[in-house]
Amino acid sequence: MATTKVAVIGGTGDEGSGLAARWAKAGVEVVIGSRDAERAQAAAAKIQKLAGGSVSGLENAAAAASAPIVVVTVPFSGQAAIYRSIADAITPETIVVDCTVPVAAAVGHKATKVLGVWEGSAAQQAQSLLPKGTIMCAGFHSLAAAALNDLDREMEGDVLVCGTKKAARQEVGELVNAIPGLKYVDAGPLDNARIIEPITSLLIGINMRYKTDRSGIRISGLPE
């Protein structure tokens, strides 16, 4: 795998910590980012105890500057502020992966509904807040936090990744495939984030109806 280090901004939350733990367990060096460095370090120590591997914690901007791939797992309500805080740490070579979903819960409505975003998607909003030309991807929207954090069970499902450059999507795909049970699917250009992001709200509704907390997606008919 080309990428052996990843920063997870929002790594103290359920989704971010779950991804971090899975990557640490797979041998990827992980840097947890938080607005508070001490909180990041505490989260990193907890993840390392559970998953092993190499996990450290830094303030968000420092974490973003420390790795070639930066995965941002923050609520839509705080997305803009987080991206503004790390913008100066993003280089032309950095691959940024946005996992944000514009769920209506951000404005007090149901999580089974999504908000319209002026730029087209949460990922495109993030792109607008970063330096021009930033390599931007979006992905991991269909992975349940409960499943990610259940380290005793292998993950299952496909992960759709879209982005501005095919080579970047493939690098993110290597991170997907590093987690046993998951499979990367190239979902094309970043514009497709407006289609992919609402899948989360769809899955939340499915979880509610089927009384589970870990539904996901599979794409059939693809070559092995």
* pLDDT per position as a tens digit, 157-215: 999 999 999 999 999 999 999 999 999 999 999 999 999 999 999 999 999 999 999 99
Instruction: Classify the phi-psi angles of 218: left when phi > 0, otherwise alpha if psi is within -120 to 50, otherwise beta.
Output: beta
In a domain, 196, yes or no: yes
Percent of the chain with pLDDT over 70: 97
> Picking from 23-27, 93-97, 102-106, which range would have the lowest pLDDT averaged per residue?
102-106
DSSP conformation letters of 155-189: --EEEEEEES-HHHHHHHHHHHHTSTTEEEEE--S
- The pLDDT value recorded for residue 105 is 66
pLDDT confidence bin for 154, thresholds 50/70/90: very high
135: containing domain? 5-210
Asked if residue 224 belongs to a domain, the reply is no
Question: What does the pLDDT look like over 47-71, one tens digit per residue?
Answer: 999 999 999 999 999 999 999 999 9
pLDDT of 113 reads 81
Q: Is 60 exposed, middle or buried (0-12, 13-18, 19+ CB in 10 A)?
A: buried
| 68 contact partners, CB below 8 Å, separation of at least 6 | 3, 5, 6, 93, 94, 95
- Is 48 a domain residue? yes
pLDDT at 3: 65
Asked if the structure places residue 189 within a domain, the reply is yes
Q: 221 in a domain, yes or no?
A: no
Across the chain, mean pLDDT equals 94
* pLDDT recorded at residue 198: 94
Instruction: Give mean pLDDT, residues 14-23.
Output: 97
For the domain that residue 46 is a member of, what is the CATH number?
A: 3.40.50.720
> Domain count of the chain?
1
Please indicate, yes or no, if residue 197 is contained in any of the structural domains. Answer: yes
Query: Within a domain: residue 23?
Result: yes
As separate numbers, helices (DSSP H) first and strands (DSSP E) second, the chain gives 9, 8
The rounded distance, in Å, linking the Cα atoms of 101 and 188 is 18
Burial 82-109 (b: 16+ CB within 10 A, else e): bbebbeebbeeebbbbbbbbbbebbeee
